[in-house]
């Protein structure tokens, strides 16, 4: 009886060793490492590298542009309309809170085509930024447009396009305050 117990014990040990050997050969050695997750490539998502924002100096378009600038640190080209003639005459290049340069409107093309920019994000439809100012590009720059009439939708699109969270929420809080000044 004792021999039978020993034989069964040896068989159990051999089975256990066989299972361990099989598992060792079939399970990858890097189980302790976190697998690399590859993000899907989406050509519609651009990030912020080398991008410049361009818009007219109107409340909604400027508010969205400044929200994006604050969130992403992008330079902003702001077209300023003469209040009397309603023509765009001045362009402001804003590169932070204390870095503002003023140019005549005919320099817009040179500013956007500057070799340091890889793309331009135009904010606003023709009421905010006339079409003739959206096409001053001479070289192969990528052009992106946020030109829906719904400014919250434009902010949502900007957040996705630029892969930057918080743009919609920041814009929404500023935009709603502007829409309802009594809430201030």
Q: Which residues contact 60 (CB under 8 A, 6 or more apart)?
A: 124, 128, 151, 175
Angle between helices 59-72 and 167-179 (to 10 degrees): 150
Helix (H) or strand (E) holding 124: none
User: In terms of pLDDT, which residue wins out, 85 or 34?
Assistant: 85
Question: pLDDT tens across 99-157, in order?
Answer: 899 999 988 888 888 768 888 899 999 999 888 888 766 667 888 999 999 999 999 99
CA distance 140 to 168: 29
Question: pLDDT tens across 16-34, in order?
Answer: 555 544 544 444 444 343 3
Pairing of strands 119-123, 51-56: parallel
- Provide the b/e sequence for 122-152 (b: ≥16 CB within 10 Å): bbbbeebbeeebbebeeeebeebbbbeeebe
CA distance 94 to 101: 7
Confidence of residue 180 (pLDDT cuts 50, 70, 90): low
Domain ranges of the chain: 51-183
């Amino acid at each position: 009886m004792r021999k039978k117990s020993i034989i069964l014990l040896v068989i159990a040990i051999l089975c256990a060793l066989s299972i361990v050997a099989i598992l060792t050969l079939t399970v990858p050695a890097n189980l302790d490492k976190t697998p690399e997750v590859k993000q899907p490539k989406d050509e519609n998502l651009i990030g912020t590298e080398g991008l410049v924002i361009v818009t007219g100096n109107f409340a909604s378009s400027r508010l969205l542009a400044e929200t994006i600038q604050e969130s992403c640190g992008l330079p902003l080209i702001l077209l300023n309309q003469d209040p009397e003639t309603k023509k765009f005459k001045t362009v402001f290049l804003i590169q932070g809170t204390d870095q503002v340069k003023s140019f005549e409107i005919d320099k817009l093309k040179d500013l956007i085509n500057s070799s340091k920019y890889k793309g331009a994000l135009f904010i606003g439809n023709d009421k905010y930024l006339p079409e003739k100012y959206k096409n001053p590009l001479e070289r192969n720059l990528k052009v992106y447009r946020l030109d829906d009439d719904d400014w919250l939708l434009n902010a949502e699109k900007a957040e996705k396009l630029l892969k930057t969270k918080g743009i919609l929420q920041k814009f929404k809080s500023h935009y709603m305050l502007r829409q309802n000044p009594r809430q201030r």
